[in-house]
Amino acid sequence: MTVERYAFTLQLTERCNLACRYCYVRRRGRPDPADCTPDFCRRFVDFVLSQSPKRVKITFFGGEPLLRPDLIRHAVAYGKKAAADRGDTAIGFHLVTNGTLLDDALGDFIAAEGIGLEVSLDGPAEVHDANRIYPDGSPSFHRVYGNLLRFVARHPDHPVSIFSVAASTDALAWLQAFCRGIDAQGFTFNPIHTAPEDHPRSGRCKTVKQAFSRRIDWHQKALLAGDRTCDQELAIHMACLLGGCDACACEAGTNATVTTRTGDIYPCPFFVGHPDQVIGNIDPGFLPERVKPYLDRRRTAMTSCKKCGARRVCVSGCAFNAFEQNGRVDRQAKQACVHTRDYARRLQASLVVLASRVPEKLIETTIAHVFAAALPSAPPMPWDAAPRSFVIRLTGRCNLACDYCYDKGHTAPRDDLDYPAARRIVRHILESPAVEPVVGLFGGEPLLNWEVGEFLITQISRGARQRGKRPFFHLTTNATLMTPRIARTLHRHGVTVQVSVDGNAECHDRHRRYPGGQGSWEAVHHGIGLLKQAGRGAVIDGQVVLTPGHVDMVGAAGHLKEMGCRRISFLVAGWEEKTGLVWSSKEIAALMQARADFFPFFIDSALRGDAGVDLGFAGLVAAEPKGPQGICECGTGEVYLDTQARIYRCPQLYAAGHAPLGRCGQEDDAHIHSPGKCVVREECLACWARTRCGGGCMVRNQSCAWIASRRPARDAEMWCDYMRAEFARAILAYRILESRRPRVTAAIKAMFGV
């Protein structure tokens, strides 16, 4: 492993004007009373420049480095001149201070020289002054707080970071609010290295666990409230879990080193005072045999931590924690691993909550740059002449009179598909380029013309064997006309049966009724029973139509699973001009909330291997990381064939009276007629989801690129918000599942042949 070093820390002094109770320097018993010298600072800078020819960053550390501002000024001036003389080296400086000595003159110097500033602040006065005190016991909060506010006021554009050592988590909310108030560039909350005599190991463990939990909870509440900058460090950790960036591994002994006034190089400030951990000196340089254990711990982490659920936020843990617990750095600290895994689990749980409720905000604060890079540069093409799915209208008749049927007002004759037209359809499918054509039997209620449906299955199967094709058959039915013979036939041919059932009897019978008003649930339930009796392994899927007042997706999914449905599809009743079912703004909002509530249920189900609880959403997840090229496949991946063997983009456009695209069996069979004018709203052109949406879908979000909408602009905007949130959740679901169990995303993709 190549060691790349560009960050170097110089401990200017071990002296400090404070006497913090948890100071690790004071724990050593005999802090070094001597400071660095100007000559040593020059030697250090020369050593640093020799180690990293392209860029270097020097951090001034202590004790309290502002006790020696003269050395800082000298090192900065010499470092900039030396780097300029080299011509090709960029040099930067950073300062870690307790803030008590940060007067206006030093502040102006820091800002003028572009020195990064990190100030130690533990919280409000009562928390900060409990540990950060002067040697005489007097408090330091007001001095630090005043100096910091004055610096920010004088230099509002200069980056400032806050470092807090946590003896408790009581100040976390205050610190986060303070960081937002001063627009802090970074915030580090460290609950680990408290003094053992004040906080024994059991107490430290409790503090760590509380800190992890409370910090995540407060970050979640803030983000839900609309604060996108509430905790940047947590946002980075979430981005790591989502694959948006790599976690910062502990670089102790490699890139992160600290040099004392003697020239000795230690792996990090916590190791200073442990002579057996010296890894070199600025005169002879680094000692490879001393650096090796720190390289080994990185190599070990790559293998031993490979299957750890926290690997994306931890990498290899803290080297000093390992040293404290094991006496060596190349073996992981078990207790720290326990805490980090717990932290990762809590962070993953928060991700699910945020992804369900504010998915677009979560993307913006974590993986916006990765997501933007994955966006296609152009919207999907409106037509593909080689569909793989053929939905066949066996009949226009139906024995039910469902309220939300978009076809109930259709003026075309309620005729059946006859054998001559069926033969033309068979020939059309067999001669298509599709090697594995999906054949859907549709209606009306297709079982009213089942003889022709069975003829289609038999003829397509026979012709496919001769041509080396493998067709898949799919029947969409209300199941009320199911018989034992039909059920056995379906099972024998391996037909997937999708049954339209909206949940329990009350939900189902609200809209799915016979013409006389009688509910159909009992007949549907009986039909599903016949399908299950037809043979072991009968494939039964469910289709639920969500309507105003009926949006309980979790309840519907649970009920359909109890009935034996393998996979479930959710459609949204609409097309108000056809059905009369109107979604008010309040009801659209309720549907949006239902989709948010369903998201954690989907994640849990997917982790159990059952992503089919929402087939439509699973399809969006399967299309990630780049997303689907439009949610509507009508006329591209799928076409609709009516009872006259005419070809339409989809059943909705057929019902809307659009002209067919072509006709099976004619000489111009392969010719695609103009599908009409595509409706593109101006707002769609600027929408990030345009390529994933492609104009919408009437059964997904009440929008169609080929049918002009008459609904109020506000409602149309809400439907777009609804679908954008689904796209954002799919992006996040893929990444959440990929981080927790990659084989789950592989299985979801396999469901759709991806």
pLDDT at 257 over 60: yes
In a domain, residue 487? The reply is no
Higher pLDDT pick, 339 / 409: 339
Indicate the DSSP class of residue 106.
H
Classify strands 186-190 and 257-259 as parallel, antiparallel or unpaired: unpaired
The pLDDT value given to residue 202? 47
Which residue, of 317, 332, 366, is where some domain finishes? 366
Average pLDDT on 459-474 reads 96
Contact between residue 102 and residue 66 where contact means Cβ atoms under 8 Å apart: yes
| 230 band by pLDDT with thresholds 50, 70 and 90 | low
* Domain region containing 621: 541-629+694-754
> Could you report the per-residue pLDDT of 386-426, keeping only the tens digit for each?
789 999 999 999 999 998 887 765 545 568 999 999 999 99
Q: Which helix (H) or strand (E) holds 640?
A: strand 638-641
pLDDT at 378 over 70: no
| 54 band by pLDDT with thresholds 50, 70 and 90 | confident
The pLDDT value given to residue 174? 87
pLDDT at 331 over 90: no
Residue 442, classed as helix, strand or coil, is strand
**Distance from first CA to last CA of the chain, Å, rounded?**
36
| 7 band by pLDDT with thresholds 50, 70 and 90 | very high
Rounded Cα distance, 295 and 330, in Å: 8
> Could you report the per-residue pLDDT of 348-366, keeping only the tens digit for each?
999 999 999 999 999 998 9
Residue 348's CATH number = 3.20.20.70
Which residue, of 366, 393, 425, is where some domain finishes? 366
The pLDDT value given to residue 669? 47
The pLDDT value given to residue 376? 63
The pLDDT value given to residue 256? 85
Nearest CA to 651 out of 699, 703, 580, 705 is that of 699
In a domain, residue 548? The reply is yes
Rounded Cα distance, 703 and 684, in Å: 12
Residue type, 297: R
Nearest CA to 77 out of 51, 112, 103 is that of 112
Rounded Cα distance, 566 and 554, in Å: 15
Which residue, of 327, 344, 366, is where some domain finishes? 366
Cα dist. 483→324, 448, 472, 527, 626 in Å? 73, 12, 22, 7, 44
Residue 257, classed as helix, strand or coil, is strand
Nearest CA to 639 out of 466, 387, 267, 382 is that of 387
Cis before 317? omega within 30: no
pLDDT at 560 over 70: yes
Average pLDDT on 305-334 reads 79
Average pLDDT on 513-529 reads 95
Average pLDDT on 23-49 reads 86
> Could you report the per-residue pLDDT of 684-700, keeping only the tens digit for each?
878 888 888 888 888 88
Nearest CA to 398 out of 462, 444, 430 is that of 444
The pLDDT value given to residue 80? 95
* Other residues' Cβ atoms within 10 Å of the Cβ of residue 422: 24
| 184 band by pLDDT with thresholds 50, 70 and 90 | confident
The pLDDT value given to residue 200? 47
Nearest CA to 567 out of 496, 623, 658 is that of 496
In a domain, residue 505? The reply is no
In a domain, residue 394? The reply is no
From 141-155, 596-610, 687-701, the region with the lowest mean pLDDT? 687-701
Rounded Cα distance, 182 and 152, in Å: 7
Determine what percent of the chain is predicted with pLDDT higher than 70. 89
Model pTM score: 0.84
In a domain, residue 298? The reply is yes
Nearest CA to 507 out of 477, 565, 548, 567 is that of 548
pLDDT at 496 over 70: yes
Average pLDDT on 495-515 reads 95
Number of domains in the chain: 2
In a domain, residue 322? The reply is yes
> Could you report the per-residue pLDDT of 197-228, keeping only the tens digit for each?
444 444 455 656 676 777 788 888 888 988 76
Contact between residue 541 and residue 568 where contact means Cβ atoms under 8 Å apart: yes
In a domain, residue 570? The reply is yes
Q: Which helix (H) or strand (E) holds 55?
A: strand 55-61
Which residues lie below 8 Å from residue 693, measured CB to CB, with a gap of 6+?
A: 630, 631, 684, 687, 703, 723, 724, 727
From 56-60, 375-379, 435-439, 462-466, the region with the lowest mean pLDDT? 375-379
The pLDDT value given to residue 479? 97
pLDDT at 674 over 60: no
C-alpha count within 13 angstroms, C-beta hemisphere, residue 114: 7
CA-derived radius of gyration, the chain: 34
Q: Which helix (H) or strand (E) holds 477?
A: strand 472-477
Mean pLDDT, the chain, integer:
87
In a domain, residue 572? The reply is yes
Task: Quickly tell me which residue has 């879990």 as its tokens.
Answer: 241
Beta bridge partners of 640: 391, 648
Rounded Cα distance, 720 and 225, in Å: 22
> Could you report the per-residue pLDDT of 702-742, keeping only the tens digit for each?
888 888 777 777 888 899 999 999 999 999 999 999 988 99
The pLDDT value given to residue 670? 46
